[in-house]
Structure 1
Amino acid sequence: EHHDKLRVLLEQAGFRDIRLTPKDNSRDILSSWVPGSKAEDYVASFIIEAVK
């Protein structure tokens, strides 16, 4: 849902051809940073590509 907001912000800033691709291992990385915190339920890592 938040990535949709990010897409809108990028569009408003004049970007087009926006691609937001979730990184496959982001949940694993986040859970290893602070085990037991469930940070992976609230934070995600994306590859962001766009043209301006």
Structure 2
Amino acid sequence: MADIVTLKALCEELKLDPREAREKLRAAVGDAKANPELAKARKPRTPWQ
């Protein structure tokens, strides 16, 4: 089984702002034509993993 890596942990490692990362991910999910796999995999009201 693969280890789950949270967005928060990634942002800490890469020294990024988690809020900005979530905003960019939400925008990418909203454009299903450009990112069909991301839009399909995202479940609302769950943490980014």
**TM bucket, shorter chain:** 0.3 to 0.5
Relative contact order, higher structure (CA 8 A, sep 6+): 1
Tell me the TM-score normalized by structure 1: 0.31
- Which has the larger strand fraction? 1
Between Structure 1 and Structure 2, whose CA radius of gyration is higher? 1
Tell me the TM-score normalized by structure 2: 0.32
- Which has the larger helix fraction? 2
